[in-house]
Amino acid sequence: MIFIKSIYCLIYGGNLLLLLISPINREEAVEAIEGGADIVDVKNPKEGSLGANFPWVIEDIREITPDETLVSATLGDVDYKPGTVSLAALGAFTSGADYIKVGLYGTKDYNEALEVMRNVVKTIKNRKKDAIVVASGYADAHRVGSVNPLEIPKIAKDSGSDLAMLDTAVKDGKGLFDFLDIDILKDFVDEAHSYGLMTALAGSLKKEQLKPLSDIGCDVVGIRGAACIGGDRNTGKINRIAVSELKSFINGF
């Protein structure tokens, strides 16, 4: 498995932007793997931006994914229910995920988000210290009343998480750059790196937006729509040619 230390070597030794692709089932996972995704991120868009999939889907995808490729699982756009979220984290971990992503949707401030993340970290790290825990906020948090996205790096650091992430909560055609400009995103990345954390950015990203994110030092970009036939995250299906084109584009930076 590739775990935190080797990922740091990949990123900081080779200045590599990792491509995370989000399939919903085995068929799409095969397309993501064959296309060259670095991280296979199991999610369920029917349940939201970071909607959770079923344990058997995670297990199935882990089984077909090469050992050197990380399998990520989203726990959902979670409520402020630390116990419930911790149990969900344990379920994702025991199903084979080694990259556990929490969407802090229902946490309205730093303290609530910190409580959720501390308990998820305790749950996961007690079982495998090298597993990666991701605290994810939303660039459009003001639209859903969740925690300020610019507090996510500190929440990740103070909870013992490994990676600070931003996505968008509402999937209505607006993306990451509609809410945060490149200078603010650079500040986000720089702050997270100053704490020794990795960073991931997502949110209806377009191919031409990946180079600016690489330039500011982002470690992981999360993609679904741009890897789907027709470019639609909900109605399209992930296609290996689209994934391969994204991977080749990134490798050319």
Cβ neighbors of 213 (< 8 A, separation 6 or more) are 17, 185, 201, 205, 221
What integer pLDDT is reported at residue 236 of this predicted model? 79
What integer pLDDT is reported at residue 10 of this predicted model? 46
What integer pLDDT is reported at residue 229 of this predicted model? 83
Q: Average pLDDT of 115-137?
A: 97
What are the catalytic residues? 43, 101
Q: Average pLDDT of 89-97?
A: 98
For the chain, the maximum distance between any two Cα atoms, rounded to a whole number of angstroms, is 44
Please determine, for residue 235, whether its predicted confidence score (pLDDT) is greater than 70.
no
Domain encompassing residue 233:
4-251
Please determine, for residue 11, whether its predicted confidence score (pLDDT) is greater than 50.
no
Domain count, the chain: 1
Q: Average pLDDT of 103-125?
A: 98
Please determine, for residue 154, whether its predicted confidence score (pLDDT) is greater than 90.
yes
Mean per-residue pLDDT of the chain: 93
Please determine, for residue 146, whether its predicted confidence score (pLDDT) is greater than 90.
yes
Between CA 155 and CA 74 the distance in angstroms is 18
What integer pLDDT is reported at residue 214 of this predicted model? 97
Q: How does pLDDT run across 156-184, given as a tens digit for each residue?
A: 999 999 999 999 999 988 999 999 999 99
Q: Name the pLDDT band for 2 (thresholds 50, 70, 90).
A: very low
Q: How many CB atoms lie within 10 A of CB 126?
A: 9
Q: How does pLDDT run across 38-60, given as a tens digit for each residue?
A: 999 999 999 999 999 999 999 99
Share of the chain above pLDDT 90, in %: 89
Q: Name the pLDDT band for 16 (thresholds 50, 70, 90).
A: confident
CATH number for the domain harbouring residue 163: 3.20.20.380
